[in-house]
């Protein structure tokens, strides 16, 4: 489980995969704090809401503000304190044991990441190959109204819906999506995310091994 120990905080596991990815939601109320240690494979954090302060092994770190991603080095002790009037909410994804991460903390704001497009969809990579993390990829994607063709990825992925409404079409099943919905998409699983609302469907994804969010497996051959 990402993080060990808390004081006045809630830590909810959202997804746990066979590859070792574990997705969780950390919620720290006003005047509360969350104390723990980074898992042995390292973690990717993304601030969803609120503001706060971070210290690593007693040393003050960067401010925690919305749309900020953090690459947390394995085994580091941390303390998170909520600094606002509302809850501080952080998406935390623990990476598999043995992931080769750098040994220092890095942070990156989503607004500083270039937008890339695939079809009619836009994504911004915070960490990944060529962006300081060779072990996993963290990105935010935007899906316009409509449905894309079914596709498959070569990696294991945990997806959190940040905004909007839609339907996840996964391996012949349909699941309603709204803000806070979490999905696990294992490698090779046929799927597509449909935006059924009038606004952009915004999602946060973390996957392992690292690759581009646009990477797809070839479609299987139809039965003859």
Q: Let me know: does 148 contact 175? Beta carbons within 8 Å.
A: no
pLDDT tens track for 8-64:
789 999 999 988 999 999 999 999 999 999 999 999 999 999 999 999 999 999 999
Block residue for tokens 């909810």: 12
Domains 10-101 and 110-208 share a fold: yes
* Residue-level pLDDT at 195: 97
Beta pairing partners, 24: 13, 92
Span 110-208 CATH architecture: Sandwich (2.60)
Task: From 192, 183, 96, 105, select the one nearest 150 (Cα to Cα).
Answer: 192
Q: Which two tokens stand for residue 37?
A: 């240690």
Residue 174 has pLDDT above 50, yes or no: yes
**89: three-class secondary structure by DSSP:** strand
Residue 72, phi then psi, degrees to nearest 5: -100, 120
Q: Let me know: does 192 contact 183? Beta carbons within 8 Å.
A: no
Spatial distance between the Cα atoms of 162 and 159, rounded to a whole number of angstroms: 9
Q: Let me know: does 11 contact 56? Beta carbons within 8 Å.
A: no
pLDDT tens track for 70-110:
999 999 999 999 999 999 999 999 999 877 677 789 999 99
pTM: 0.93
Q: Let me know: does 124 contact 115? Beta carbons within 8 Å.
A: yes
CATH code for the part of the protein at 10-101: 2.60.120.10
Spatial distance between the Cα atoms of 179 and 160, rounded to a whole number of angstroms: 8
Per-domain boundaries in the chain = 10-101, 110-208
């Amino acid at each position: 489980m990402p993080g060990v120990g808390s004081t006045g905080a809630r830590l909810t596991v959202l997804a746990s995969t066979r590859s070792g990815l574990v997705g969780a939601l950390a919620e720290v109320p006003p005047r509360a704090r969350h104390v723990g240690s980074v898992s042995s494979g390292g973690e990717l954090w993304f601030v969803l809401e609120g503001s706060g302060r971070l210290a690593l092994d007693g040393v003050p770190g960067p401010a925690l503000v919305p749309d900020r991603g953090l690459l947390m080095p394995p085994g580091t002790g941390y303390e998170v304190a909520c600094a606002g009037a509302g809850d501080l909410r952080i998406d935390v994804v623990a990476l598999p044991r043995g992931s080769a991460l750098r040994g220092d903390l890095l942070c990156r704001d989503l607004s500083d990441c270039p937008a890339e497009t695939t079809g009619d969809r836009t994504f911004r990579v915070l960490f990944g190959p060529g962006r300081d993390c060779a072990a996993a990829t963290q990105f935010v994607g935007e899906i316009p109204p409509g449905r894309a063709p079914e596709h498959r990825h070569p990696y294991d992925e945990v997806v959190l819906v940040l905004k909007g409404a839609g339907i996840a079409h996964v391996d012949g099943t349909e699941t309603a999506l709204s803000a806070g919905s979490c999905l696990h998409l294992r490698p090779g699983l046929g799927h597509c995310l449909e935006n059924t609302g009038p606004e952009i469907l915004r999602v946060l994804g973390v996957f392992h091994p690292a690759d581009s969010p646009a990477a797809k497996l070839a479609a299987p051959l139809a039965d003859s």
